[in-house]
Amino acid sequence: MLDFSFISLLARSSLLSIFPIGSRTFIFDQIFFIFLLLGTIVGIVVISYMVIQAYRYREDSTRKKDDIDRPKLGELPPQEDDGNKLLKSLLLSAVVVIALVVWTYGSLLYVEAQPSQIDDALTIGVEAYQFGFLFTYPDGYQSTGVLRAPVDRVTVLKITSRDVLHNFGSPDLRIKADAAPGQVSETWFLAESTGTYDSACYELCGAGHSYMLAEIIILEESEFEQWNKTKNNGN
Ligand code: CUA
């Protein structure tokens, strides 16, 4: 497995604070926002240019067809500037696309790198089976179908499978990871508010796949500690 700690360190330094840092939800929202913003700007520029050109070369009663200096059918437009315009637009597009790729990749490396960086993270084992999930807490306590974790604290999940290929995911927490027999995949989440989040299996794994659901209950830190203390007494 690759060690991204160096990149994660870079991402945390103020030098590279252009990368979003926070919960997965925050990071993915930032990426979505940047793409939406750039897409909107490009869309406005392209459509405006098209409308302006369409207006410029319009045909109406005050202008005769032949007065307008426009290419005839089958004729190539004159090259006024030796393709400078084309070169500029290609360069601009390349800069935008490469910057987007680098920025998105850097942000996602941080998402991938974080688990090993956090000291006070809660680590929970997730074992998928036909058809459900077994959660194992650091003290060995196990529960099926319900995962409890504290708010505002990184929870690292070590995911594996007892039988066939499964996939553990929760859309609200922006997590999704393969559960493969004999392998452990690691992912993490940071819930920003308390409540109950849905999670499910995202890999067709048999007749009970659709019923392979689990709840992730996010508690206040104090509530979680309280539950953590009493859970072994038959809770
Ligand atoms: Cu397990 Cu689908």
Give every residue of the chain whose pLDDT is below 70, as ranges: 1-17, 63-71, 78-79, 114-118, 234-235
Contact 131, 95 (CB under 8 A): no
| CA gyration radius, the chain | 27
Rounded Cα gap, residues 76 and 15, in angstroms? 49
User: Where exactly are the structural domains of the chain?
Assistant: 4-70+81-116, 119-233
pLDDT at 2: 43
Supply 67's token pair. Answer: 């007065």
Enumerate helices (H) and strands (E) in the chain, giving the number of each: 4, 10
pLDDT at 183: 93
The pTM of the full predicted model, rounded to 2 decimals, is 0.73
Topology (CATH level 3) of domain 119-233: Immunoglobulin-like (2.60.40)
Of all protein residues, whose CA lies closest to atom 1 belonging to ligand 1? 166
List of residues 6+ apart from 89 with CB closer than 8 A? none
pLDDT at 115: 60
Rounded Cα gap, residues 151 and 40, in angstroms? 35
How far apart are the CA of 161 and the centre of ligand 1, in A? 10
Rounded Cα gap, residues 129 and 163, in angstroms? 6
Give the CA distances from residue 48 to residues 36, 37, 52, 65, in Å, rounded to whole numbers and listed in that order.
Answer: 18, 16, 6, 24
Supply 177's token pair. Answer: 């990871």
Q: Which residues sit with their C-beta closer than 6 Å to ligand 1? A: 128, 166, 201, 203-205, 209, 212
* pLDDT tens digits for range 59-76: 777 766 666 666 678 877
How far apart are the CA of 144 and the centre of ligand 1, in A? 15
What are phi and psi for residue 167, nearest 5 degrees?
Answer: -150, 130
Supply 154's token pair. Answer: 């990184």
Rounded Cα gap, residues 154 and 190, in angstroms? 5
pLDDT at 106: 86
